[in-house]
Structure 1
Amino acid sequence: MKFVAISDTHDNMFAIRDFIDEIKKEKFEFLVHAGDVIAPFALREFERLNKQIYISFGNNDGDRNLLMGVIEKNKWTAADIVSFPKGVVYHGTNANIVEILKKLNVEFLIVGHSHKPKIERLNGITVLNPGEICGYLTEKRSYAIVEDGDVTIVEF
């Protein structure tokens, strides 16, 4: 199984388009977004991938009703905490919730919020923060590719 994990796009259309252009070269099953999409116009860009997308709402996401319009139209999945094949995604705003999620019987916990890429393995769970697509806080744009349990952080 191969999937791509991202977070914190923050309406940076240049970075989103660069990411999509780059990732379209990869063969993967689905995309996991750990939140802070912000606006529907940014979310619509992901339609170009023609993939299933699992989205956790972040603390900066705008009007959820408008975001849900794009999500439902594409039959994507979104909520505060979302399960996906072999894992769960949560933005990571509340550290207590992250600690609870680490105890689930899943292979992957994808989080965002800090904008800092990190891979941590705890009791059989890979806790992954893919970093930020937007590049606003760290001045580095990154995402993660997960393939057969191996995780690679990619800067672009």
Structure 2
Amino acid sequence: MKVGVISDSHDNVKNLSFAVEYFNRNGADYVIHCGDIISPFAADCLNKLQMPYTGVFGNNDGEWLGLDKITEGKIVKGPIVTEIGGCRFAVFHEPSVLDYISSDVPYVLYGHTHSKDLKKRNNQTIINPGTLGGYMADNASFAVINTVNGEIDFIDL
């Protein structure tokens, strides 16, 4: 199963549209947004995904009602633990809760720092896909998780 992971798109509709097209073209099975979409008009790009998606609000997502409405409740207040294709994912925006995630959750996804991160902790894979918006970073990026073989790919724009 391929799971796309994006975060901190910050209203960059061009990059968000690129990621959506990438996931649609390359057969992602699910997409997760780790927060800071910002505006409902940007969140509408997610509705062009040809697969299910979910996500959490970030610290800059002020228009919660609009984001909730445009995504039909798919973006929620985190942290959340969700099961996708038999695999559990913890999803949140700010890394302050990293140490509180149960060790039985194989994938831990977060954003906020605008920096790519990939590390192992016991049986967990911890991933920050970087910033899709590209702000306060060397480049824009997102990630793809292959839950079958455990490979993690970062896509730089």
Where 1:144 maps in the other structure, the secondary structure is strand
Preserved contact between residue 81 and residue 89 of structure 1 (Cα < 8 Å): yes
**Consecutive aligned runs of 4 or more in structure 1 exceeding 6 Å deviation:** none
Where 2:15 maps in the other structure, the secondary structure is helix
CA distance in 2 between counterparts of 1:139 and 1:47 reads 28
Matched residue type, 2:79? I
Preserved contact between residue 40 and residue 70 of structure 2 (Cα < 8 Å): yes
Cα distance, 1:45–1:139 mapped onto 2, change above 3 Å: same
Q: Give the gaps of 5 or more residues in structure 1.
A: none
Q: What are the residue-to-residue correspondences of 1:1-156 with 2, within 5 Å?
A: 1-72=1-72, 76-85=74-83, 86-92=88-94, 95=96, 97-101=97-101, 103-147=102-146, 148=148, 149-156=150-157
Q: TM-score w.r.t. structure 2 length? A: 0.89
CA distance in 1 between counterparts of 2:153 and 2:67 reads 29
CA distance in 2 between counterparts of 1:78 and 1:54 reads 8
With 146-155 and 14-23 compared, the bigger mean Cα shift is at 14-23
Question: Shift in Å at residue 77 of structure 1?
Answer: 4.9
Q: TM-score w.r.t. structure 1 length? A: 0.90
CA distance in 1 between counterparts of 2:77 and 2:71 reads 10
Matched residue type, 1:151? I
Aligned length: 151
Where 1:24 maps in the other structure, the secondary structure is helix
